[in-house]
A and B are shown apart, each in its own frame.
Chain A
């Protein structure tokens, strides 16, 4: 219904002739300004000089231009190369080894062939397969990182890229995990989120109160 009404309303929005002609005038002025700028551009200044137009400072000679390029760009290129080499050497040391680093907290590990979570709020249970929440299960290491009471089979609420695990009223803390867009991994976020709190949180509370 919205689509039909919106299309009807928007189809009546048209630029008036006066708006168009005023805009075209301004575009012409901009074109003229651009052409003037091109005339004073050092890159094109040789042409302007050839035509006998004096437009201000004379362009530096080609030899001086080349010297300037060498003076500025060569050191910059050398610096970039050094930084790149340092990066290649140093950055790998900061990439955590996911197999050995126990500080990475996997809440869920997608089962082979699972799809990403999308769409509206969906309710389900950890470990079960259902529409939109296929293939998620707790990993062995994740069980130690989750709040008490969240186990295989615990009810959870999925919304878009996020998985809500629960809300601790005493600590006023939401427990949630979110799915990174670039990855199928889901990371635990064990603190209050900045997610929209309107109807979704009310639905969440109602669900966990059952």
Chain B
């Protein structure tokens, strides 16, 4: 696939970043994942056939990179605001009050990705099952259980 890498980063970067954030729950880790995914893309770009394949590749690579991050134990800690370096430019803004995102990040990992892909990226169950290499039945049950856990979690937050 012929491409302009910069165009790809600008077109799909937000998607990668959001998926990374939904998995890591952490801005710094999400940014690391973002960079790693696109750096890896440089080596794999010739194998990408079309736009849809690219999108699937990016999603899959982001998920794999997030998993590697968890398994390697190299996750970064959030620093308190007064310990941040003066020039923290490579950041993105997230609202302080994000109960829905926080609730999602508390779910077990296997539920987070299907929920994010279904509710935010608007992928169908068939597409999600293809990307995650799981059966549609498994994706449906993960969505169902994840939704249930989220509603319980959000109920607790609203009662506080």
Using Cβ atoms and an 8 Å threshold, which residues of chain B touch A1? 154
Size class of the A contact interface (CB-based, 8 Å): 20 to 34
A85 at the interface (CB under 8 A from B): no
Chain B residue nearest in CB terms to A1: B154
Question: Are A14 and B17 in touch, CB under 8 angstroms?
Answer: yes
B140 at the interface (CB under 8 A from A): yes
Chain A residue nearest in CB terms to B134: A181
A62 at the interface (CB under 8 A from B): no
Query: Do A27 and B42 contact each other (CB < 8 Å), given the known contacts A12-B95, A15-B34, A19-B92?
Result: yes
Of A2, A161, A181, the residue contacting B103 (CB under 8 A) is A2
B14 at the interface (CB under 8 A from A): yes
Of A5, A8, A10, A16, the residue contacting B18 (CB under 8 A) is A10
Using Cβ atoms and an 8 Å threshold, which residues of chain B touch A116? 137
Residues in B19-62 with C-beta less than 8 Å from chain A: 21-22, 31, 34-35, 38-39, 41-43
Q: Measuring CB to CB, which residues of chain B are less than 8 angstroms from any residue of chain A?
A: 5-6, 9-10, 13-14, 17-18, 21-22, 31, 34-35, 38-39, 41-43, 89-95, 98-101, 103-104, 116, 119-120, 135, 137-138, 140-141, 144, 147-148, 150-151, 154
Q: Measuring CB to CB, which residues of chain A are less than 8 angstroms from any residue of chain B?
A: 1-3, 5-10, 12-16, 18-20, 22-24, 26-27, 30-31, 34, 116, 118-120, 160-161, 181
